[in-house]
Copies of this chain bind each other. A is one copy, B any other.
Amino acid sequence: MAASTMRFSPATYNGGSRGPQRVSPATALRLGSTQNAAVFSVTRTISSRARISSISQCSSSSSSSSVTSAAMINKASGKVIDGKSVAKQIQEKIATEISRMKESIGVVPGLAVILAGNREDSVAYVRNKKIACESVGINSKSYEVHLAEEVSEQEVLEHIKGFNDDPSVHGILVQLPLPPHMNQQNVLNAIQIEKDVDGFNPLNIGLLAMKDREPLFVPCTAKACIELLHRYDVPIKGKRVVVVGRSNIVGLPTALLLQREDATVSIVHSRTENPEEITREADVVIAAVGRPNMVKGSWIKPNAVVIDVGVTKVEDAKKRRGYRYDGDVCFEEVNKIASAITPVPRGVGPMTIAMLLSNTLVAAKRAHNFK
């Protein structure tokens, strides 16, 4: 996708969605050190109260600069980027496009979703995707596969093969994480690249990385982040952007997409020696680690824009349901310093689902050469 065509139009932009991955607290404490740790959406309940206080509460780092401290004191709250509302607008346009396609050529986009096991979070994610598909007119219901936790890799591969061969299926999504006895790479590689609406195929990632090449699909969360920046007229070209986290499914593709948009991109990760200092240089910060409230006010340059991809379920006795969702960014602190920030929830999450719908529409249009 050329930089010049990156702004949203239903025909060109891409999305995709991948559900949460569970990581051990020890793993999550390391900043994106494994593929699993650096996912955009980490759902886990932190059961130790000590851990809750050490991880999930917002408090300024002792090294916060006087500049940012002053900003924190003097500045009113930044603009909150309303991902849910933007996602709604996008879904409406997608629904219109799908109606037009159905009327013109009688084709309804089909999205197959394969879920193995009964993880509470995965089940919830799949349900949300299904609801979103229905709301825009994508047929997901006919291609829903819910398998037992102990299903063999071979059986999952056979389902994928069936969907690869089915011309009424335009997108295939395997809900991650897969049960531990399966080889995730094998399974994802089996998805035909033209139907890989998540865009995680290495060929697609290579095409995303290279100048003058075009990926088939832009991974959904990456596109969700950049689309929010565009919608809120945040300059990207030439600006310094720091992506915190380097997972294959969020940090890496987001950095590659930002590079295509002519940002000056730095990736901060678990081995970075001075993440706070580097992040504070950025005009735009994308936090995609899966460690709640890790990015404090002292990490942010005054008037920077902050996109928070993390979603972690954190125990909270004050809530009626007993938990809340926290992002990677300490919202209360950062909101006083940033010029704009996405909330959690209602920020990147709904946009990610909108991008999945969009990618499925793109796949269907491409398969039928429908403009």
Interface residues of A (CB under 8 A from B): 34-35, 185, 201-213, 237-240, 246-248, 252, 256, 259, 262, 264-269, 271-273, 278, 281
Contacts and interface: CB of A to CB of B under 8 A. Distances in A.
Nearest to A248: B210
Contact of A210 (B205, B240, B264, B266): B205
* Top 10 A-B pairs, shortest CB-CB distance: A206-B206, A202-B206, A205-B206, A266-B266, A262-B271, A238-B273, A264-B272, A203-B203, A238-B271, A210-B248
Given A206-B204, A209-B252, A266-B266, A259 B272 contact: no
A123 B34 CA distance: 45
Contact of A252 (B207, B211, B240, B264): B211
Contacts of A262: 269, 271
A149 to B, nearest CB: 23
A248 B256 CA distance: 12
B247 A211 contact: yes
B267 A265 contact: yes
Nearest to A266: B266
Contacts of A271: 237-238, 262, 264
A159 B287 CA distance: 48
Contacts of A202: 203, 206-207, 209-210, 213
A44 to B, nearest CB: 20
Contacts of A210: 202, 205, 248, 252
